[in-house]
Amino acid sequence: MPEQRRIAETNALFQQRYETECAWVHRFMAWIMVGQWALGLAFAAFLSPYTWIGERQEIHIHVWAALLIGTSLSGFALYWMRLYPKEASTRHVVAIVQMLWSALLIHLSGGRIETHFHVFASLAILSIYRDWKILISATVVVAIDHFVRGVFYPLSVFGILTESPYRWIEHAAWVLFEVAFLAPGCYRLRKEVYELCARQLELQDAKRTVDQQVAERTRELSDAYELLAEKTAETEKLALVARYTDNAVLITDADSQIEWVNEGFTRITGYALEEVIGKRPLDFLHGPQTDPQIRETIRNANQHKVGFNVHTVNYRKDGQPYWVDIEVRPIRDADGEVRRFIGIQADVTERVTQEREKIRLHQELLDVSRQAGMAEIATGVLHNVGNILNSVNVSVSVIRNQCSKSALGHLQKVTDLIAEHESTFADFVSSDQRGKKIPSYVQRVTQALGDERQTIDEELVDLTKNIEHIREIVTMQQSMARTGNCNQRLELDTMIEDALAANKASLMNHQIRVIKELDDDAAVIETDKHRLLQILINLIKNAKDSMVEHGVDSPQITIRSRCEDEQLVLSVIDNGMGISRESLQQIFQHGYTTKDDGHGFGLHSSANAAGELGGRLEAFSDGIGTGARFDVTLPLNPPKSGIETKVFQATS
């Protein structure tokens, strides 16, 4: 129970304090005891040092009494105080001894009236113990002393022999009279000390509580101070930002009336702070080019006390329009009420201008690119078609030669001869020498025409294939801009034969020997047929051109395939002119060529095609006159999702 605990603590504190007080009074009383002892001796020695019998003197009994009785009294009190400093009995002992000292001193002083006050003084001194009970003890001692001496030695007390035996009561009553004042005082003082202890405990509790609160408040204040310092530093930084940012910063009240603008606002708009305080930005920053829809958006946001972001046209003080990005946010108080708005306006006129210029340039670039792309596509188409057209021309020349030298003319002569001798045809055949030759002649012509037809048919087959290839080239080039997947499983040997067929005439004309060294593990490959065919035709044609141009005695093209790390390496090797080190660095660049009549497109487009197939095209040569080797590296299992367009990188 707190109350019981409080009472117990108060009692303990009072006891502690009272014991401390008693210890102090004990020390004081100890000096009193010593002083009384000295005083008694002095009294006796000064007032009655000797007793006389005529001319004879003896030590007065008062001196012995002062020495012996005084020593016993003071010694007893001192010993008891030392032995039991905290006991209540000690205070009673002191009181009793003190009263006996009064009796002794009165006696030693010869009953001087002044020494009677020792009793009253002693009572007053004893009252500093704040223990009214010891005053009773003292009173009892006085009463007993007077009673005993009144009974047995009334003269010593009352000065008469026939005194009333109740006279001692009168003397005790005087003592009681003083005690009647002192005892309540002791009680009251004791009670006051007790109350002081109670108040002290309350104060200690209060102080402890206050200390705790102070500590808590101090800690809170410290935290708040640190927080405030952080916030202040942050605010100062923000203030620096607001003050020195190039952007315009506005603070408005809840009704969007300007309270503060920064220097950035003045720099951008030309309006000084004092010119705009109390105004609404809507009323003086907007103009004809300001989007009405934006104005409505801002107005609605202000009305509904919400933030907004807009991009619009504002007007400077001099009427010049400028593009601005506006970000406005509401500032709420602790109750959530919007008290202010803070707005940041960034002058983005330059950015808008740049963006517009960029868009324009981008559009122009697109146009140019489109034209360049178209030109490149056209070039590619024409180049590839041109390559095929060579074969077409050859086929056509063959057919034309075949037709010009056709046996059909001979057949016409026979037909004219038969028409001339139509009426006598039978005789002519049987009798005329020329007529006799007609059947065999017709037979030979027919045979010749049959051979011609076969030749023409073969050429027409090649021609048809080449024309089909041209169509595929055109189709493929048309689809270059699109991502498409034309992968199919191909027999590599067939592909190589088709590429050789496209260059067949040239190879035959220049008696170029073709050697195939194909790896059986890569007999079938899955790739885009026409891209790979285009690459091979280009490489074979380049090899042929290199050997023809270099005038090699025994021109030879080796086509080799091998598998390396899930990749197919297809090499076209010639023993032609070769490639210099410098040319190797540039040979795949668009427009770069070593031929007198070249365009610098074939290898470039072939390299691109190899990249589109997921592979690469590489050129190797030890220099001029050493021949060259071109390796086409292709994945054996290309991705199914389609052809990836990769950046091509040529290596030497």
Partner 1 sequence: MLSVLFMLPVLLGMSMLANYANQPGPEAIDVPVKLTSGVLPEWKAFSARPTVVFFYHPHCPCTRATVRTWERLIATSSTQPKIFAYAYRPADVNDQWVESDLTDAIRKLGDVDVIADAGGDACRRFGVTTSGHLLVYGVNGELKFSGGITSARGHEGESQAGDAFIKQINLQSTAQTHWPVFGCAVVSEAEGV
Q: In whole angstroms, give the CA distance from residue 603 to residue 591.
A: 10
Each residue 535-554 as x (binds partner 1 by CB under 8 A) or -, in order, gives --------------------
Q: Do you know the residue count of the chain? A: 652
Q: Which is nearer to partner 1, 28 or 79 (CB)?
A: 79
**Amino acid residing at 518:** L
Q: In whole angstroms, give the CA distance from residue 161 to residue 122.
A: 29
51, 218, 371, 397: residue in contact with partner 1 (rule CB under 8 A):
51
The CA radius of gyration of the chain, in Å to the nearest whole number, is 69
Pair 524, 492: CB distance under 8 Å? yes
Q: At a CB cut-off of 8 Å and minimum separation 6, what does 302 contact?
A: 255, 256, 282, 341
**Is position 515 an interface residue for partner 1 (rule: CB under 8 A)?**
no
Q: Which is nearer to partner 1, 87 or 220 (CB)?
A: 87
20, 156, 300, 483: residue in contact with partner 1 (rule CB under 8 A):
156
Output phi, psi for 488, to 5 deg.
-155, 160
Q: Which is nearer to partner 1, 153 or 244 (CB)?
A: 153
Q: In whole angstroms, give the CA distance from residue 151 to residue 130.
A: 33
Pair 301, 328: CB distance under 8 Å? yes
Q: Which is nearer to partner 1, 55 or 422 (CB)?
A: 55
List the beta strands (DSSP E) in 544-627: 556-564, 567-574, 616-620
52, 334, 440, 596: residue in contact with partner 1 (rule CB under 8 A):
52
DSSP per-residue string spanning 65-117 = IIIIIHHHHHHHHHHHHHH-TT-HHHHHHHHHHHHHHHHHHHHHTTS-HHHHH
100, 249, 525, 569: residue in contact with partner 1 (rule CB under 8 A):
100
Taking contact as CB under 8 A, which single stretch among the options 153-161, 200-208, 354-362, 639-647 is the one that binds partner 1?
Answer: 153-161
Give the helix ranges, DSSP H, for 245-272: 263-269
Pair 291, 321: CB distance under 8 Å? no
DSSP per-residue string spanning 604-616 = HHHHHHHHHTT-E
User: What crossing angle do the helices spanning 529-550 and 602-612 adopt, rounded to 10°?
Assistant: 150
Residues 101-120 binding partner 1 (CB under 8 A) are 103-104, 107, 110-113
Residue carrying the six token digits 């670039």: 365
User: Nearest approach, Cβ of 116 to partner 1 (angstroms)?
Assistant: 9
Enclosing H/E stretch for 286: none
The token duo for 502 is: 């496209």
Q: In whole angstroms, give the CA distance from residue 258 to residue 90.
A: 87
**Is position 160 an interface residue for partner 1 (rule: CB under 8 A)?**
yes
User: Nearest approach, Cβ of 156 to partner 1 (angstroms)?
Assistant: 4
Taking contact as CB under 8 A, which single stretch among the options 54-62, 178-186, 281-289, 405-413 is the one that binds partner 1?
Answer: 54-62
60, 146, 529, 629: residue in contact with partner 1 (rule CB under 8 A):
60
**Is position 209 an interface residue for partner 1 (rule: CB under 8 A)?**
no
**Is position 79 an interface residue for partner 1 (rule: CB under 8 A)?**
yes
35, 49, 165, 278: residue in contact with partner 1 (rule CB under 8 A):
49
7, 8, 23, 61: residue in contact with partner 1 (rule CB under 8 A):
61
Q: Which is nearer to partner 1, 31 or 52 (CB)?
A: 52
Pair 558, 543: CB distance under 8 Å? no
How many whole angstroms from its chain centre is CA 623? 58
Q: Which is nearer to partner 1, 69 or 617 (CB)?
A: 69
Q: In whole angstroms, give the CA distance from residue 180 to residue 182.
A: 6
Q: In whole angstroms, give the CA distance from residue 397 to residue 390.
A: 10
User: Nearest approach, Cβ of 19 to partner 1 (angstroms)?
Assistant: 22
Taking contact as CB under 8 A, which single stretch among the options 51-59, 221-229, 358-366, 447-455 is the one that binds partner 1?
Answer: 51-59
68, 206, 227, 238: residue in contact with partner 1 (rule CB under 8 A):
68
Each residue 288-327 as x (binds partner 1 by CB under 8 A) or -, in order, gives ----------------------------------------
4, 162, 433, 554: residue in contact with partner 1 (rule CB under 8 A):
162
Q: Which is nearer to partner 1, 62 or 469 (CB)?
A: 62
Taking contact as CB under 8 A, which single stretch among the options 118-126, 156-164, 474-482, 499-507 is the one that binds partner 1?
Answer: 156-164
Pair 95, 128: CB distance under 8 Å? no
- Four-residue CA torsion sign, 299, 302, 306, 309: positive
Taking contact as CB under 8 A, which single stretch among the options 59-67, 335-343, 502-510, 589-597 is the one that binds partner 1?
Answer: 59-67
Is 407 exposed, middle or buried, given 0-12, 13-18 or 19+ CB atoms closer than 10 A?
Answer: middle
User: What crossing angle do the helices spanning 167-244 and 113-126 adopt, rounded to 10°?
Assistant: 40
Each residue 166-185 as x (binds partner 1 by CB under 8 A) or -, in order, gives --------------------
Q: Which is nearer to partner 1, 140 or 518 (CB)?
A: 140
Q: How many residues make contact with partner 1 (CB under 8 A)?
A: 42
Q: Which is nearer to partner 1, 5 or 56 (CB)?
A: 56
Q: At a CB cut-off of 8 Å and minimum separation 6, what does 633 contact?
A: 564, 567, 568, 569, 570, 610, 615, 616, 617, 618
Q: Which is nearer to partner 1, 153 or 181 (CB)?
A: 153
**Is position 75 an interface residue for partner 1 (rule: CB under 8 A)?**
yes
69, 492, 539, 543: residue in contact with partner 1 (rule CB under 8 A):
69
Q: At a CB cut-off of 8 Å and minimum separation 6, what does 375 contact?
A: none
Q: In whole angstroms, give the CA distance from residue 413 to residue 434.
A: 12
The token duo for 122 is: 């002693």
Residue in 631, 475, 624, 502 with CA at minimum distance from that of residue 567: 631
Q: Which is nearer to partner 1, 54 or 319 (CB)?
A: 54
59, 65, 486, 636: residue in contact with partner 1 (rule CB under 8 A):
65
Pair 557, 572: CB distance under 8 Å? yes
158, 265, 322, 428: residue in contact with partner 1 (rule CB under 8 A):
158
User: Nearest approach, Cβ of 35 to partner 1 (angstroms)?
Assistant: 18
User: Nearest approach, Cβ of 65 to partner 1 (angstroms)?
Assistant: 5
2, 4, 31, 54: residue in contact with partner 1 (rule CB under 8 A):
54
SS3 category, 575: coil
User: Nearest approach, Cβ of 146 to partner 1 (angstroms)?
Assistant: 12
Residues 601-620 binding partner 1 (CB under 8 A) are none
Q: Which is nearer to partner 1, 15 or 51 (CB)?
A: 51
Footprint on this chain of partner 1 (rule: CB under 8 A): 47-57, 60-62, 65, 68-69, 72-73, 75-76, 79-80, 93, 100, 103-104, 107, 110-113, 149, 152-153, 155-156, 158-162
